[in-house]
A = this chain, B = another copy of it.
Amino acid sequence: MTVQTTPVRMVLDCDTGVDDTLAILYAALHPAVDLLGVGSVWGNVDVDTATGNSLHTVHLAGRPDIPVARGAAGPLTGAPPVFAYHVHGRDGQGNAGTGRAVGRPAGETAAEQIIRLVRAHPGEVEVVAVGPLTNLALALGLCPQLPGMVRGVTIMGGAALAPGNVTEVAEANIWCDPEAAAAVFRAPWPLTMVGLDVTMRTTLDDGHRARLAAGGSIGGYVSDILDHYLGYFASVAFGERRSCMHDVLAVAVAAGTLVPTLAPTVRAFVETGDGPTRGQTVCDLRGMYMGFPPQDGASCRVVLQTDPAFADEVVALIAGAGDSAVPLDREEHA
């Protein structure tokens, strides 16, 4: 595990379902990350559930000092949001959450929090977004100077050469709000796209769950919430109990703790038309047969290969995190 001398300052924007929980834990626990704040957004679940889960997770990690700001409840266009409870459970925690409300959201929106934290550390903050990109698009609208003030933006989202997971070509985070994603892809900041090309290739199985369960109560909790998630992926993607760990890959790539083995910087944009390719991330990878020579206008680093053994590092970090600072028995509702 590579640890940089200076931790990367990070704001993490999440639609906190199961894999987002791992991403927050990784960012909160790993010494290579200085997690300044978490924003919540609609997506996997509604934004209130996502906010509650994010608060629960920072407390779980023993980091109640990390502010959690509530963000957008639906896409930029005002179209009705569509959630993925079948993937993440009705509580966004694989139906294995505690049901406990812990802490309170910050007094600003997630978009405002991004702007405030970036302004506080000019040139130093990596904005990592692992849900629909609505909050980032709103932040761009509120503060057009934002691209010149960030260290960079890393997203979990999109698919370059891999199939989509909502449509044949569209990945869920992009498909949920293509107009917001288009704004994020167009903005003049260094963008890193950690999409299905790699996130479908780094997976957790019941062996990993057993190692988590053998750790402290934090690991035990993560093992519990992964049960439903592995079952979902077994039925729709892998044909066996094995799940992606999408979001944490983006955090680790942004932190420099997961170094891509292939990640060309190319032109990329999001299809926002109403046709069947809506929500596709169109990446210009035509240079692949000659080792991706430099492209004019290229600003998107598309991560195409990472080491699948990264899953073991995540499991080791969380299994070794010890015991939770919050009660993990399920809250009983009268």
B-facing residues in A281-305 (Cβ within 8 Å): 282-286, 288-291, 293
Interface size on A, residues (CB 8 A): 29
Check: A275 CB closer than 8 A to any chain B CB. Answer: yes
Report chain B residues within 8 Å CB of A39: none
Q: Smallest CB–CB gap between A182 and chain B, Å?
A: 11
Please state the number of chain copies in the assembly.
2
Check: A161 CB closer than 8 A to any chain B CB. Answer: yes
Report chain B residues within 8 Å CB of A275: 271, 273, 275, 277
Q: Does A237 lie within 8 Å of B163, measured CB to CB?
A: no
B-facing residues in A249-285 (Cβ within 8 Å): 267, 269, 271, 273, 275-277, 280, 282-285
Q: Does B286 lie within 8 Å of A276, measured CB to CB?
A: no
Q: Does A162 lie within 8 Å of B161, measured CB to CB?
A: yes
Residue with the highest number of chain B CB atoms closer than 10 Å, among A165, A239, A282: A282
Contact residue among B200, B276, B286, B290 (Cβ-Cβ distance under 8 Å from A289): B200
A interface list, Cβ under 8 A from B? 161-165, 168-169, 200, 237-239, 267, 269, 271, 273, 275-277, 280, 282-286, 288-291, 293
10 smallest beta-carbon distances between A and B, as pairs: A239-B290, A273-B275, A277-B277, A163-B285, A163-B286, A168-B284, A168-B282, A237-B289, A161-B161, A238-B289
